[in-house]
């Protein structure tokens, strides 16, 4: 079975500006977002190749600087201007047809669908259909199509109408398996949780250092940080002293969690910095923004000490670390050189022997506080501790 595939990362005709924005986070499609250490589009490409489809072309109108790392080994990537997106798709369909493909698999990556492509294509070829469309249990399109190269007019009509009209009808394939529509930060967060809980076919990219905790290559976790399973720490990330990572949190690559910060039920985008002493919960965080999942609001931060973006250039990250060290050591040296000593003058041995023992002195009077007046408020000396996990 000679089948070739085209993956489209871009809007379809139904996508108004508002609907198109629903498929994006920080102005980049969810399809390009990392989930547990790997971009979703890469997971789809790998899944397609595992089912015997070797030739894959990814066509997108997203600018190249927003492409995930590693595109060179995940099919042939083509950037098309927004008004030329579907003409470029049509061009590759014609190229694959001329190369003798029996069928062309077309996927517009909006939703994440764990479809059995081999079964889908087998049904299409058995029926000798011109077009077969995958739909969910309620009849809503999944933007997954099998096209017959022997019917180029039907395929061209479908491209011209951006997958929403057919020239002369089509066959349908009903799918009732796992579907995540990926139209909000909640959906992205849910995908990470279900991957960590091993409910879907998304595997964390890293070494499992203890049950339920995966760590990517080059990640550094301070010995006084706490990672409570299930959790994912992406490649090149830094989790500093007294930080706590808990409740299915997923830190994508090169995330930095500073000292004492608690991260609970959170997904970060790559190159995210979370400042010291924060309590970040029920959120997706990245590119200076926090998407609170419970309240459904988005907050942008201007103070880099709270939430900011780590540079994506490794030399600049290393230079920043060196600058911090260069400022730390001279300060410690000057403090030790000029600070006045706080040590008391030691008592001579004869004086110490002749002095009465401290235990024989009269005890200091104990001050009993006056009864507190019930004002309905917490007393100022009350300390509230928050406990994470039960290791």
pTM (2 d.p.) = 0.81
Flag the least confident range among 43-47, 148-152, 270-274, 323-327.
323-327
The pLDDT-based confidence of 165 (bands split at 50, 70, 90) is: very high
DSSP 181-212: ---SHHHHHHHHHHHHTT-SSPPPSSEEEETT
Q: Which residue has the tokens 């019917």?
A: 151
Contacts of 110 (CB under 8 A, 6+ apart): 12, 23, 31, 143, 181, 182, 183
Flag the least confident range among 131-140, 202-211, 315-324.
315-324
Flag the least confident range among 122-131, 169-178, 320-329.
320-329
Tokens read off for 100: 């003798």
| 98 backbone dihedrals φ, ψ, rounded to 5° | -65, -25
Does residue 20 surpass a pLDDT of 60? no
Question: Please, what are the domains in the chain?
Answer: 3-180 (3.90.550.10), 185-309 (2.160.10)
User: Length of the chain, please?
Assistant: 391
Contacts of 204 (CB under 8 A, 6+ apart): 36, 37, 195, 196, 214, 232
Q: What is the pLDDT of residue 125?
A: 96
Burial of 382 (0-12, 13-18, 19+ CB in 10 A): exposed
Q: What is the pLDDT of residue 82?
A: 84
Give the tens place of pLDDT for each residue, 220-271.
Answer: 999 999 999 999 999 999 999 999 999 999 999 999 999 999 999 999 999 9
Q: What is the pLDDT of residue 70?
A: 86
Q: What is the pLDDT of residue 316?
A: 54
| 75 in Cβ contact with 57 (< 8 Å) | yes
Does residue 137 surpass a pLDDT of 50? yes
Tokens read off for 242: 């007294």
Give the tens place of pLDDT for each residue, 361-382.
Answer: 444 444 444 544 544 454 444 4
User: Which residue would you say has higher pLDDT here, 99 or 15?
Assistant: 99
Q: What is the pLDDT of residue 348?
A: 45
């Amino acid at each position: 079975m000679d089948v070739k595939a085209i993956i489209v990362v871009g809007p379809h005709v139904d996508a108004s500006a508002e609907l198109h924005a629903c498929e994006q986070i920080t102005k980049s499609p969810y399809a390009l977002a990392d989930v547990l250490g790997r971009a979703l589009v890469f997971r789809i490409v790998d899944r397609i190749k595992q089912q015997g489809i070797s030739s894959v072309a990814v066509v997108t109108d997203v600018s190249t600087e927003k492409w995930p790392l590693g595109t060179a080994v995940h099919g042939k990537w083509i950037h098309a201007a927004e008004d030329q997106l579907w003409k470029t798709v049509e061009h590759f369909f014609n190229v694959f047809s001329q190369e003798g493909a029996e069928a062309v698999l077309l996927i517009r990556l909006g939703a994440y669908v764990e479809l059995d492509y081999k079964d889908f294509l087998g049904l299409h070829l058995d029926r000798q259909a011109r077009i077969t469309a995958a739909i969910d249990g309620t009849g809503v399109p999944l933007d997954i199509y099998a096209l017959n190269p022997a019917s180029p007019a039907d395929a061209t009509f479908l491209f011209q109408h951006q997958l929403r009209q057919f020239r002369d009808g089509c066959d349908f394939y009903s799918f009732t398996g796992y579907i995540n529509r990926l139209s909000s930060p909640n959906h992205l967060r849910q995908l990470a949780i279900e991957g960590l809980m091993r409910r879907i076919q998304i595997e964390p990219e890293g070494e499992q250092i203890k049950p339920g905790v995966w760590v990517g290559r080059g990640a550094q976790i301070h010995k006084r940080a706490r990672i409570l399973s299930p959790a994912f720490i992406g490649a090149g990330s830094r989790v500093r002293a007294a930080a706590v990572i808990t409740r299915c949190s997923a830190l994508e690559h090169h995330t930095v969690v500073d000292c004492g910060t608690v991260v609970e039920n959170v997904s970060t985008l790559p190159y995210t910095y979370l400042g010291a002493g924060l309590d970040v919960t029920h959120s997706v965080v990245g590119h200076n923004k926090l998407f609170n999942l419970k309240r459904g609001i988005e907050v942008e931060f201007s103070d880099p000490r709270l939430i900011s973006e780590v540079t994506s250039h490794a030399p600049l990250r290393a230079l920043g670390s060196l600058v911090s060290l260069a400022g730390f050591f001279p300060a410690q040296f000057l403090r030790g050189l000029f600070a006045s000593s706080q040590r008391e003058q030691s008592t001579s041995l004869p004086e110490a022997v002749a002095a009465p023992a401290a235990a024989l002195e009269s005890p200091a009077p104990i001050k009993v506080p006056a009864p507190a007046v019930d004002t309905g408020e917490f007393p100022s000396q009350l300390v509230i501790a928050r406990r994470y996990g039960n290791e």
